[in-house]
Chains A and B, each alone.
Chain A
């Protein structure tokens, strides 16, 4: 096991897949010579040349649309959206095109594209460098959506996404890039799309989440252990398709569930997880389903008190978990 940062794990997945398969290439704004505004693609142009680590015009719909065209031809493009906030001009290409290509052609054509986009706040990015757009794409059949929280999953899920025969949206949390390090398996491995992961076993409450907030959940769980509260934590890892069976099992275990995400509450992924739990095991619950999410405001303001108010943290998470345990 090597210890690496979240951003290095993402980069090493791309590098290994580009070495393995000549049809894999990266395109996006500033991904080539500069190596990305976050350095996610640093070194790829040096190793693979200008074509396979391609700087594109500032033009998100073309980045997605060109990648889709290349994927239909037989390439395996990784299209980078510089910030997920700037992904919306490409939404028509993603929802009307990538998601429907296999279906509308009755399996004649396919679109094995990966679209990577940094999500989330806590970096003083203001309204337009902090958003979580998962809910915009969630619920669009034909797309797969993944959102890793730690380096091992970041690498393993990206490798799976690149190898997947269908379009995958890969949401990487920008606050995790350099803040989060962890062990990553050596050699060729992949984390299967569609499989969640139990991060922690517990008896009193179940917490279900994805991406950055799981770090808060894990620390809160450790602290609550001192108070005699035992938390079971499930990382969804893949948002679409949801790992329904694992969600049901995780909730059954304790009968109390808290769903946590940074994306705002209304219409978020948590709403679907809650509905699923209600459908499957309402009468096995010992408490109402709880959600801890970003507030329903258009996006995160840049001033520190507002950003702090918007973002989840260990304290907020611990409070919500304790309240549920004591219900």
Chain B
């Protein structure tokens, strides 16, 4: 990622991103990183039980989000996608409500583990823990949208380990056969908990798309602009009826799998450090500085602002009430004809 091929035009400009958007992308990445680091601290301080991290994956998540139509596309993120959900409209306060499992949490009302996103308002489709079940759902959303004549795409993410599940293959095949507007986005962070990529996959994940009759593209997940370019092209194909695309964004999971994981039992500090040097976040900051869009003063202001926002969100999440115990019994089924019954058409 260098500033530009030509002297006058910046790379992000060539890709159709304004300076403002290019900076917003960076702010989203830093916001996700700051949230993630705060959650690690909260867990170590005993304030929360558990955190599952996305550090090292923000560049790809944010690059992809900005390439989508965030006012109408449907999103099926997986549990490390803080950068993604923050980019499509979820707030730090909402994420903190989920972290503290509070009633006001829009993702699940304090029912699910953190990282299990969902928000009808933001078209983030509710997710679960058995990995990759969301891939056929993405095909279903795309099928429904196509039947309704809506020009939107469904965008679904998953890890490279997950891409071995049957639901990945069944979902890809279905979408391929019916040429559905789906973008399959694999965040290949090299590890499925402790199991490295070479014990998960013998070939290349992006090559799998060939078996389903659509393109598979490998992209440097540490380069948000390149991810943006690839996802934007995938979206164009999708809305123009050319069918799905599989994008494999290669990156590295800098954090342990979760706060319950000791990663040095299966990888070395040196390996982690080596990859930390390729982290997309400082690389993108350097790019913006090179473009004259960012400087140390702005960086300090942003970090301060994020600290304050996180302080506020953390305090809010911490103090917010839990759901009432007896609410455990609610919403097994619809409680009236109206509530969440999807009875009416989107129109």
Contacts and interface: CB of A to CB of B under 8 A. Distances in A.
Contact of B342 (A25, A103, A112): A112
A304 interface: no
A110 B138 contact: no
B196 interface: no
Given A93-B136, A97-B137, A59 B170 contact: yes
Contact of A71 (B126, B330, B342): B342
Contacts of A107: 109, 330-331, 335, 339-340
A56 interface: yes
Contact of B174 (A62, A97, A103, A109): A62
Interface stretch (B6-14, B34-42, B127-135, B267-275): B127-135
B216 to A, nearest CB: 19
Contact of A66 (B125, B128, B174, B334): B174
Contacts of B144: 69-70, 73-75
B179 interface: no
B138 A69 contact: yes
B130 A96 contact: yes
A109 B136 contact: no
B205 to A, nearest CB: 19
Contacts of B138: 69
Given A65-B140, A109-B125, A102 B331 contact: yes
A74 B148 CA distance: 10
Contacts of B154: 69
B341 A61 contact: no
B130 A141 contact: no
Interface in B104-152: 105-112, 116, 118-120, 125-126, 128, 130, 133, 135-145, 147
Bin the interface of chain A by size: 35 or more
Given A74-B345, A74-B346, A67 B128 contact: no
Interface residues of B, number: 53
Interface string B204-239: 000000000000000000000000000000000000
A100 B332 CA distance: 8
A75 B136 CA distance: 15
Contact of B118 (A52, A73, A105): A105
A110 B344 CA distance: 12
B143 A102 contact: no
Contacts of B340: 102, 105, 107-110, 165
B177 to A, nearest CB: 6
A237 to B, nearest CB: 17
A65 B284 CA distance: 37
Contacts of A89: 166
B345 A23 contact: yes
Interface of B: 74, 105-112, 116, 118-120, 125-126, 128, 130, 133, 135-145, 147, 154, 166-167, 170-171, 173-174, 177, 330-335, 337, 339-346
21 contacts: A61-B170, A62-B173, A65-B136, A65-B171, A66-B136, A69-B137, A70-B141, A70-B144, A72-B342, A73-B346, A102-B331, A103-B111, A104-B111, A104-B112, A104-B118, A105-B340, A106-B105, A108-B120, A109-B126, A110-B334, A144-B333
